[in-house]
């Protein structure tokens, strides 16, 4: 409990804390043999605590690369990443940053609950507490009763919920998502959007997600950052003002979508 309160003081209060994420002149170049590809150049972005930010852009614009840089698993060539005010390489509470992949990435040999527990196994949390927290996370995504099911026994939507539970079980302050629902059918994807917003209302974390789907970005985000094609740089940040839940049939929402499409 103490732990969580402490977190709220340091980086989950929108009023007087540093931004959850701040990117300052981030650049990244990949070399493949003698070919160099400039993927990102001078990316500047600020994400306030408890904000939902969507990253969109043409494919190959470096959206996933940018997310990997934010998550700390990839180092930028130039520029600086700040997480909760701390320089990325000095930040040491990565347990409070979750990452949700494009695919559900469930370990096939583990049951649903054991897959959720996996996220807690990097540290030294007691087995009993892991199981309890994993069960709570599964309840949070409304998968109670499926704890012992193996991934092959679950539908695509359910697997996606398990993956979401795994990202949430660590009680993250920041949730990073790389096209997390892109492999689901349209109906299930809409359900997962609802699910995500429901969890967001309960947990109030900062969310940064990558998508190529303008509708998804418009429906979920407070702000949408548009990346220009290679080398990727932030072309514009669009504030999406209508209250959630939004519907793509709302004229306001449609006009935002048109605007974003024109920007990509």
Partner 1 sequence: MATNSSDGIDTKSLAQPLSRRLKLGLIGQRLALAAVVIGIWWLSSLSVPHYILPGPRRVWDALHLIAGNGDLWNNLAITLWRVAVGFVVAALVGLPFGIVLGANKHAGEFFEPVIPVLNTVSSAIWAIFAIIWFGISNATTIFVVFMTAMPLIITNVWQGTRTVNADFIELAKVLRMPHWKVMTKIYLPTILPYFFSGARLAFGFGWRVSLVAETIGSSSGVGYRLRQAADLIRTDQVFAWTLTLVIMMATIEIGMMKPLENYLFRWKKDAATQ
255 binds partner 1 (CB under 8 A): no
256 binds partner 1 (CB under 8 A): no
Enter the tokens of residue 174: 């920041």
Q: For the chain, how many residues are written? A: 264
Closest contact distance (angstroms) between CB of 153 and partner 1 is 7
How many residues bind partner 1 (CB under 8 A)? The answer is: 24
What whole-number distance in Å separates Cα of residue 226 and Cα of residue 111? 38
The owner of tokens 């094609």 is 229
Cis before 245 (ω within 30): yes
Q: Is 107 in the site for partner 1 (CB under 8 A)?
A: yes
3-state SS assignment for residue 227: strand
Q: Which of 37, 73, 202, 237 binds partner 1 (CB under 8 A)?
A: 73
Task: By CB under 8 A, tell whether 30 contacts partner 1.
Answer: no
Other CB atoms within a 10 A radius of the CB of residue 136 amount to 15
Give the nearest distance from C-beta 146 to partner 1 in angstroms. 8
Site string for partner 1, 33-72 (x = CB under 8 A): --------------------------------------x-
Site track 142-161 with partner 1 (rule: CB under 8 A), x = hit: --------xxxx-x-xx---
* Closer Cβ to partner 1, 166 or 246, answer by number: 166
Contact 83, 21 (CB under 8 A): yes
Contact residue for partner 1 among 17, 58, 105, 147 (CB under 8 A):
105
Burial code (b: 16+ CB inside 10 Å, e: under 16) for 79-111 equals bebbbbeeebeebeebebbbbbeeebebeeeeb
Segment near partner 1 (CB under 8 A); pick from 27-35, 79-87, 92-100, 249-257:
92-100
| Alpha carbons 29 and 132: distance in angstroms, whole number | 43
Q: Which stretch in 54-62, 107-115, 130-138, 241-249 sits in contact with partner 1 by CB under 8 A? A: 107-115
Contact 179, 103 (CB under 8 A): no
Q: Is 232 in the site for partner 1 (CB under 8 A)?
A: no
d(CA 225, CA 62): 12
Q: How are beta strands 206-210 and 174-178 bridged, if at all?
A: parallel
Instruction: Scan residues 158-217 and list those touching partner 1 (CB under 8 A).
Output: 158
Choose between 30 and 118: whose C-beta lies nearer to partner 1: 118
Binding to partner 1, residues 112-141 (CB under 8 A): 118-119, 121-122
The SS3 assignment for 36 reads: strand
Give the footprint of partner 1 on this chain (CB under 8 A).
Answer: 71, 73, 94-95, 99, 101, 103, 105, 107-111, 118-119, 121-122, 150-153, 155, 157-158
């Amino acid at each position: 409990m103490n732990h969580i309160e402490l977190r709220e003081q340091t980086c989950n209060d929108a009023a007087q804390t540093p931004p959850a994420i701040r990117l300052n002149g981030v650049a990244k170049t990949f070399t493949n043999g003698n070919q160099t590809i400039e993927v990102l150049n001078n990316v500047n972005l600020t994400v306030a605590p408890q904000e939902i930010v969507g990253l969109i852009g043409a494919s190959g614009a470096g959206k996933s690369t940018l997310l990997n840089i934010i998550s700390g698993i990839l180092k930028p060539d130039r520029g600086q990443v700040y997480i909760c005010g701390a320089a990325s390489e000095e930040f040491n509470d990565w347990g409070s940053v979750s990452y949700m992949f494009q695919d559900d990435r469930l370990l096939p040999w583990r049951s649903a609950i054991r897959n959720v527990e996996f996220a807690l196994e990097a540290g030294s949390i007691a087995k009993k507490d892991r199981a309890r927290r994993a069960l709570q996370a599964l309840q949070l995504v409304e998968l109670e009763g499926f704890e012992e099911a193996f991934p092959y026994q679950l539908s695509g939507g359910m697997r996606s919920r398990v993956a979401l539970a795994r990202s949430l079980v660590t009680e993250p302050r920041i949730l990073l998502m790389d096209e997390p629902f892109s492999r689901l059918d349209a109906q299930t994807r809409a359900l997962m959007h609802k699910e995500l917003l429901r969890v967001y209302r309960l947990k109030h974390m900062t969310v940064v997600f990558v998508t190529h789907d303008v509708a998804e970005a418009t429906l979920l985000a407070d702000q949408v950052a548009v990346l220009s094609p290679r080398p990727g740089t932030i072309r514009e940040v669009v504030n999406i003002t209508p209250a959630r839940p939004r519907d793509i049939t709302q004229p306001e929402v449609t006009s935002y979508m048109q605007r974003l499409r024109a920007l990509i």
